[in-house]
């Protein structure tokens, strides 16, 4: 992910990529040569050069690396999840506040053009259904499927409902790793909205589907293809409308929100508090899944 982020910022004409850092020096040098910037094996060597940093390291190191960057006075875009637990999340949020720096969390699906179009039409969601399937990849396998994949849709549900969570139910299973590889969750919100989510990292074909129902309209989104299908009733007639939001670049759009937040032109796409809420819900789903696994094996 760090390679992809670096490419997006290197392509911008309103900021300059001053370096890339990786503990594997050869990997850093290969990317640096491609993008025309210095390479470092110690990320702290960038502090004197940079105004902002993107942190795309394994989740267990988010607190250390993002915290060091914030402590050095850098604005930070950290990949999701914000950290491994809530105390570490709170520490990063507090540090960003004390340093008056932007802390943005990489919930990139918020920048998906199809989701943005869908969200503008949703005033009172009653039911949200999300399906996110992927083949097994070593990237992201340092965490379970909830923190790797489902957290995307948990964040989207929180953005759509905006109400507090009132009840959570979940189940899941280990398949290819020693942690949760496939899971389903049912989230109820205080405003009556219900979300049913499923996530798998042991599927053959990638799927990123989202369906939202509210009074008078149903919307089906293929977030991977960027397609929306609306079904609504108007004057007793059922109308169907399809929209194509494909061809967008959510990662580039996320970089745009980060730059605008640093300039004070807009709020961060998903700030530290937003990242914490998504993490808290993902951790609760994980707790329920593990309790069920202990009972039933």
**Contact of 125 with 174, CB cutoff 8 Å:** no
Q: Is 106 in contact with 79 (CB distance < 8 Å)?
A: yes
Given this model, what pLDDT does residue 143 score? Answer: 86
Determine the distance from the C-alpha atom of residue 59 to the mean position of all C-alpha atoms in its chain, rounded to a whole number. 13
Position 225 scores a pLDDT of 95
pLDDT value at position 255?
97
Rounded Cα distance, 291 and 297, in Å: 10
List the Cα angle 256/260/261 in 5-degree steps: 115
Question: In this predicted structure, what is the pLDDT of residue 204?
Answer: 87
**154 and 197 in contact (C-beta within 8 Å)?**
yes
* Residue found under tokens 């990320």: 43
- Is 291 within 8 Å of 125 (Cβ atoms)? no
pLDDT of residue 176: 87
Looking at CATH, the fold of the domain delimited by 2-106+253-270 is given as: Rossmann fold (3.40.50)
Contacts 24+ apart (CB under 8 A), 84-90: 84/59, 84/60, 84/143, 85/279, 85/283, 86/276, 86/279, 86/280, 86/283, 88/62, 88/63, 89/272, 89/275, 89/276, 89/279, 90/276
CA 291, CA 81: separation in Å to the nearest integer? 22
Biggest CA pair distance of the chain: 65
Find the helix packing angle between 86-99 and 62-71, rounded to 10°.
Answer: 10
Q: Which of 40, 31, 42, 41 is nearest to 9 (CA)?
A: 31
Nearest to 92 by CA among 264, 268, 263: 268
Task: Name the nearest CA neighbour of 291 among 172, 206, 211.
Answer: 172
pLDDT at 268 (0 to 100): 85
Cα distances from 30 to residues 19, 27, 41, in angstroms, run 12, 5, 12
CA 141, 147, 152, 158: dihedral to nearest 10 degrees? 180
pLDDT at 141: 66
Delimit the domains of the chain by residue range.
2-106+253-270, 109-248+280-296
Domain 109-248+280-296 has CATH 3.10.310.30: no
Q: Between helices 2-10 and 25-35, what is the axis angle to 10°?
A: 20
Residues 6+ apart with CB under 8 A from 152: 80, 107, 108, 109, 132
State the 10-residue block means of pLDDT for the chain, 297 residues long.
Answer: 96 96 96 97 96 97 98 98 98 98 97 95 94 80 89 97 96 92 97 97 93 94 96 88 92 97 92 98 97 88
pTM of the model: 0.94
State residue 82's pLDDT score.
98
């Amino acid at each position: 992910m760090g390679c992809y982020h670096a490419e997006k910022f290197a392509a911008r004409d309103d900021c300059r990529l001053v370096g890339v850092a990786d503990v594997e020096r050869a990997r850093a040098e290969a990317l640096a040569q491609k993008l025309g910037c210095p390479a470092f094996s110690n990320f702290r060597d960038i502090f004197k050069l940079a105004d902002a940093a993107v942190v795309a390291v394994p989740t267990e190191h988010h607190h250390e690396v993002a915290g060091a960057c914030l402590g050095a006075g850098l604005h930070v875009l950290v990949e999701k999840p914000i950290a491994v637990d809530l105390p570490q999340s709170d520490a990063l949020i507090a540090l960003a506040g004390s340093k008056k720096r932007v802390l943005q969390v990489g919930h990139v699906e918020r920048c998906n053009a199809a989701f943005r179009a869908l969200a503008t039409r949703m005033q009172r969601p009653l039911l949200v259904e999300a399906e996110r399937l992927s083949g097994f990849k070593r990237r992201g396998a340092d965490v379970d499927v909830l923190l790797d994949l489902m957290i995307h849709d948990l964040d989207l549900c929180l953005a759509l409902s905006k109400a507090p969570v009132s009840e959570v139910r979940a189940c899941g299973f280990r398949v290819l790793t020693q942690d949760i590889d496939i899971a389903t969750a049912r989230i109820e919100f205080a405003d009556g909205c219900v979300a049913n989510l499923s996530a798998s990292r042991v599927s053959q074909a990638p799927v990123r589907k989202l369906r939202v129902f509210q009074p008078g309209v149903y919307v089906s989104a293929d977030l991977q293809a960027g397609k929306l299908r609306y079904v609504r009733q108007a004057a007793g007639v059922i109308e169907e409308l399809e929209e194509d939001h494909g061809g967008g670049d959510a990662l580039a759009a996320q970089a745009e929100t980060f730059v605008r937040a640093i300039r004070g032109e807009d709020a961060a796409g998903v700030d530290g508090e937003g990242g914490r809420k998504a993490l808290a819900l993902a951790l609760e789903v994980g707790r329920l899944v593990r309790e069920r696994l202990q009972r039933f094996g």
